[in-house]
Chains A and B, each alone.
Chain A
Amino acid sequence: MRHGLAAFDPDGSKRFEATATVLNRQNRELDEQLRVFQSRLVAFAKDHNSELKGNADFRMKFIKMCTSIGIDPIFLFDKERHLFDVNDFFYEICVKVIEICRKTKDLNGGVISFDELHKGYFELYKVDMNDLQKAVEMLDTLAGGFQTFTIKNKKYLRSVPNELTNDQTEILQVCSILGYASIPLLKLNLDWKPVRSDAVLKEMVAKGILWVDNQARGEILYWDPAWIVRSNLD
């Protein structure tokens, strides 16, 4: 229903409605065309695979063009058919890994689990765990910037260039069970003296690896941010 003077002007609204439908249709058509174009591009990449493989310059330009119209380079690769150079596929994963590590660095102090990388990001791109691990191995060539380590059969990636000490690794191990560590918990599990626990925990907070929680009853808890994703998966 229309109110006020507008009620006397039914034709006007019809005209606008007509324009709106035209615009909507054009919008849909453009979307459709873009989709067709994108799939053609992917098909083109498959047909001219050998040229793309052979000519690095051509490949670069092609990838750049794809990115600019909204195709993520990772989608262009087809492992089975050795589309492009297979290494390029892994390089793209490497770039994504580095991006994610930088983005989440302030949140987790530069320590991220492979599960989180995979579930949170790479599953979307249909990249499986093995590909991810192979790509991360390739990051080794960056000499010291990235390192993987294992806690309770779970692999982690550290992207900040400082070594975790044994004590810190043990604390992360405790955190992997309940999400947190505390001075009493470390006494119980590892038989550490409170002074030692306190020093290591505080240091990890200063480095941004653990978050403080002072609202638990009777003790301060130190949480591992990896818990945020893990608690959500259960």
Chain B
Amino acid sequence: MTESLPPIYNFPPLYTCQPNVLIREQQLTTWCDLLLEFSKKNKAWCVNQEGSIVRDLETGDNSIFKNQTIQRTAPAPFVDQIWSRMVETQKAVKLDNGQYLMLWRSLEQWSSVFLQWFETAGKLNQVVTLYELLEGDESLEWEFHEMHHKLCELCLQKLRDRGRATLLKEQNRIVGVKVL
């Protein structure tokens, strides 16, 4: 899962919080890039604090912060720093359960992709369920297929804020959407 990451991933000192401030900045940026690339390549919408991919209710064993090849592990306080940098730079959103939604595209970019789909699939001005949007055959070829529901909700809220969408809610969850 981490095989295709750039060579810096196997650079041992990457796993030690660097004392030199300038280098540490560079180091944090590198970690953020690695996390995004890791999640994009594995299509991991959700990653937990420990750096493992979360799919449905299962959590993987492999953590990006543990590198078996070179026997190095990023220590927990440093991992905290990395995550807060991710959230600060809007590359991740922290969920209530402590897991993170990975934004290898920004919310704005994703909502534009959704708009594109509604236009190309001829779904404007009709109610589409979230299930149809994310799991249906018509979005099979699209990058957002099987996207995490929460992430999708955030994107649709962006569209609503721009006045492009009406959201259908049921027990506080978004279940459907109509794009104008």
Q: Which residues of A contact B132 (CB under 8 A)?
A: 3-4
Closest to B23 in A: A208
Q: Which of A15, A212, A229 contacts B7 (CB 8 A)?
A: A229
Binary interface profile of A, 199-234, with partner B (CB < 8 Å = 1, else 0)? 000000111100111111000010101011101100
Whole-angstrom CA separation of A50 from B71 in the bound complex: 60
Q: Which residue of B lies closest to A202 (CB)?
A: B19
Give Cα A211–Cα B13 distance, bound, in whole angstroms: 6
Complex: how many Å from CA A9 to CA B125? 14
The answer to whether A5 touches B12 (Cβ under 8 A) is: no
Digitize B4-36: 1 where CB-to-A-CB distance is under 8 Å, 0 elsewhere: 000110111111101110110110000000000
B25, A106: Cβ atoms under 8 Å? yes
On chain A, the residues within 8 Å of B178 by CB distance are none
The 8 Å CB contact of A20, one of B15, B23, B120, B137, is: B120
Asked if A215 contacts B7 (CB within 8 A), the reply is: no
Write out the residue numbers on chain B whose beta carbons fall within 8 Å of the beta carbon of A12.
122
Q: How many A-B residue pairs have CB under 8 A?
A: 79
Contacts of B128 in A (CB 8 A): 4
Count of chain B residues with a beta carbon within 8 Å of a chain A beta carbon: 30
Verify if A1 is at the interface (C-beta below 8 Å from B).
yes
Q: Which residues of B contact A206 (CB under 8 A)?
A: 20
- Contact: B11 with A228, CB < 8 Å? yes
Question: Does B60 lie at the interface of the complex (its beta carbon under 8 Å from any beta carbon of A)?
Answer: no
Q: Counting chain A CB atoms within 10 Å of each CB, which of B10, B23, B73 scores highest?
A: B23
| B residues less than 8 Å from A44 (CB atoms) | none
B11 close to A215 (CB less than 8 A): no
B72 at the interface (CB under 8 A from A): yes
In angstroms, how far is the closest chain B Cβ from the Cβ of A230?
Answer: 9
Decide if A13 is an interface residue (CB 8 Å cutoff).
yes
The answer to whether B11 touches A225, judged by C-beta atoms less than 8 angstroms apart, is: yes
Beta-carbon contact of A13 and B121 below 8 Å: yes
From known contacts A12-B122, A205-B19, A212-B18, infer whether A231 and B26 are also in contact, taking CB-CB under 8 Å.
no
Does A2 reach chain B (CB closer than 8 Å)? yes
B144 to chain A, nearest CB (A): 17
- 13 new A-B contacts, CB < 8 A, other than A180-B12, A205-B18, A208-B23, are A1-B137, A6-B123, A106-B23, A208-B20, A211-B14, A211-B16, A211-B18, A212-B18, A213-B12, A215-B16, A215-B73, A223-B13, A229-B7
Q: Which residues of A contact B (CB under 8 A)?
A: 1-6, 9, 12-13, 15-16, 20, 106-107, 109, 180, 205-208, 211-216, 221, 223, 225, 227-229, 231-232
Can you report 28 residue pairs joining A to B where beta carbons are below 8 Å apart? Answer: A2-B138, A3-B136, A3-B137, A4-B129, A4-B132, A6-B138, A9-B122, A15-B122, A16-B120, A106-B25, A206-B20, A212-B18, A213-B12, A213-B15, A213-B72, A215-B15, A215-B16, A215-B73, A221-B13, A225-B11, A227-B11, A228-B7, A228-B8, A228-B11, A229-B7, A231-B7, A231-B11, A232-B7
By Cβ-Cβ distance, the 7 closest A-B pairs, closest first, are: A211-B13, A232-B7, A213-B13, A106-B26, A12-B122, A213-B12, A223-B13
